[in-house]
Structure 1
């Protein structure tokens, strides 16, 4: 009986499957899959971790740059306001305490100081604040044809945002207003002799009865502008203008 039990037990043990059989191939495939699946998962986790850190670092750098740019912009705005306010305060002081409007001689210390301050301020201000400064000197009559105080010869008013501004009856001789936005501006009876208006936008501007002897109009937009009774305007100047469409010419005709 013992011999029969031993034989039966051995017969019941599973015999190894030859490697070439389907069962052998499945076992070998399962082992091969397990051998590279875990390292692959680990690799993918590492890549994900690295990419996450890179994205976070990039976002942090972008946020830092944006913060720095915002701070720089705020600092520039504050600097611009300081320049403008300092000018307004100093000129106001000259107007009140030194009777600046009564100064006519070029050698007068108050006038020399005012000219220097004006030249410096315009050269340092942005287009919007140049407009604010221009309104101030107009309102205080420092550039009025009746009381010319400031000398704007070669003063940098270029690219100023002066759309719709009313600075009629002013003395702007020799000023550099190239590239300025003067659309719809009122410049009637203004002295613009030797003024640089090259590339300026004067669309629908009112230049009625202004003096434009030797005014630089190269590339200027005069579409719809009122040039009626303008003096000193030559065909050579008009030939260099970018557009005269719909402009009222000095003789009252409308340019087509």
Structure 2
């Protein structure tokens, strides 16, 4: 009986693989000179009660998830889920699992802020080292992945950040620290299948950021140092030695954003 369940689970995962599709029409580079806007986007599309801001410095690889995209996700909000490189492909193939640490209750945890999702506790920072990686990303030294999601607003609970920043810094100027972490109910499912028409969370794209300097040196990342950040490689996936990062920070490296963040990914 147990073996039968494992076989059925395996077959379901294989089915997910066969149904993952890329939609080049939705690919975007976000930043000045590319796809760019200031303030909350107002383009007539219904993205629910929460605003959508330009994820400057990131590139989006879109997934084909529905033939009637705007109709399917009418009223659904855009959010982000930081991921590790070893988990990202598994998530795309097999679905998202509810958070193990659920301070806002059980569910899939996402955030409306890609700045928050990019913290190394959530989104692993990987140094580009191999020749294959350098050929893929062309320029840049570090890369991060974040999943773009659409979440059902009626199934989503809004809560504060959980990285111990509290009032010591503003994480994202577009969102209060008190509404920056979301938990979306999974209808009791252990794994959220993105192909399930009743799914409350759907992954709609892969966000990629490539930087010349360590992303912890960007202005938008300075809030990291007001909350939890550590050198434990099983906790914060920094991609470099913690002490080395702190040395670079105090020397003031890489503090100015440039459009190079938008130029390093091969399409």
Confirm or deny a common fold (TM above 0.5). Answer: no
Higher helix share: 1
TM-score (norm 2): 0.29
TM-score (norm 1): 0.30
| Rg (Cα) greater in structure | 1
